[in-house]
Amino acid sequence: MIHQTGELSRFPHILPKFDGRIVGGYEVEIEDFPYQLALLHVGKPLCGASIVSSKTAITAAHCTHDRIQTNYSVRAGSSFIESGGIVIDVNEVHEHPKFDRYLLDYDVSVLKLAEPLVFSPFIQPVKLDEKGRELEPGHMCTVSGWGTLSWGGSFPTKKLQAVDVPKVLDMVCRNAYGHKKVTNRMICHGYGDGGKDACQGDSGGPLVCDGVQIGIVSFGNRCAVKGYPGVYSKISEESIHDHITKFLD
């Protein structure tokens, strides 16, 4: 978890979901979420990611910022973060050029894999949201990943988790975090009473609605806290969408 120091202290509720369980969720199998990846750094679990083509994946930029880029790999095709499936090295990391490490704006990185993934029932790409598309508030989506069971819990859970969360009005989200903090590159999903959310270590993982990835886990006020929905990078936003599609095969 990135601690609130320097510029980040100006925004006391900004906490990247940085070190990964889904709070209030349920265990799932990888064949139900075959696009899910575990992002590893020096062989150790760091964040979530998702498959968008045979040689391309996406994650949050704060997962790749200020790290040696030759030390990344991904685990695909396994419900378990530390075993099974296949591990492939990451050859290139393309962080959004406007990524703001303090505001977590433009929080997206594109990963190019050293070799193509072989698709199977356990390994499949996810469809990306269309540029400019907007969901109605209340629309239910699913976020998946490996993270802590609760705020401050140990990382990671061994089995893949998922939780269903509704879209929150932009105005409600901005009122919670501050109007300067929630930008047009972000969307918010969660419950007013809390209890269900992505958590530490789920960063970079996919938020999917009806088989389409609309968001990337970015930040929140701890995990599943009442009045604070989870915040996600918005894939349909023009600059986010263009950055991803620029590097597709």
Where in the sequence numbering do the catalytic residues fall?
62, 107, 203
Q: Which helix (H) or strand (E) holds 240?
A: helix 238-246
Q: What is the dihedral of CA 75, 147, 185, 54, to 10 degrees?
A: 10
Q: Which residues contact 95 (CB under 8 A, 6 or more apart)?
A: 61, 64, 65, 108, 109
CA distance 247 to 95: 11
CA distance 195 to 173: 16
Distances (CA, A) of 61 to 3, 25, 84, 233: 16, 25, 26, 10
